[in-house]
A = this chain, B = another copy of it.
Amino acid sequence: MKYLHTMVRVSDLEASLDFYARKLGLKELGRTESEKGRFTLVFLAPPGNESAQVELTYNWDPEVYTGGRNFGHLAYEVDDVYAFCQGLMDKGVVINRPPRDGRMAFIRSPDNISIELLQKGAALPRQEPWASMPNTGVW
């Protein structure tokens, strides 16, 4: 299990990069643009401390961020996302977004902090019961 990033949503990507990179001094490590999903992701970290990342999520269609929706989630990489989620379910944790794709799951803390679990390396082959497990609530 390995910490990956803390994700925050931003309403103005340029203003946010100005703040996180130019002013605060974090270094941009990578950027992903999704035409289909209409979002841009930018990963930043302190220079020399690249393993501790902040992920900025910029949705191209304007959203209003009140009520803390701008805080996104904590993300952890796990060795086997199916086994990890099964272990959580055995302990009574609801898997809000099951790893249907063998890659990504979301759960929530008791205070509704969203936590992303990501399969290490390539996605696992799709398999039941995960592949057809429905979402529960939001995350």
Are B113 and A76 touching (Cβ within 8 A)? no
Copies of the protein in its oligomer: 2
A14 to B70, CA, bound (A): 27
Are B25 and A1 touching (Cβ within 8 A)? yes
Q: What B residues does A65 contact at CB under 8 A?
A: 111-112
- A8 interface contact, C-beta 8 A: yes
Give the secondary structure class of A's interface: loop
> Chain A, 25-56, contact with B by CB distance < 8 Å: what is the 0/1 string?
11000000000000000000111010110100
Q: Which of the 9-residue segments A16-24, A96-104, A118-126, A130-138 touches chain B?
A: A16-24
Are B74 and A54 touching (Cβ within 8 A)? yes
Q: Could you show 21 A-B contacts with beta carbons less than 8 Å apart?
A: A1-B25, A1-B49, A2-B52, A3-B45, A3-B52, A10-B111, A11-B110, A12-B110, A15-B110, A16-B111, A19-B109, A23-B92, A24-B88, A24-B107, A24-B115, A52-B52, A54-B74, A68-B70, A70-B111, A70-B113, A71-B113
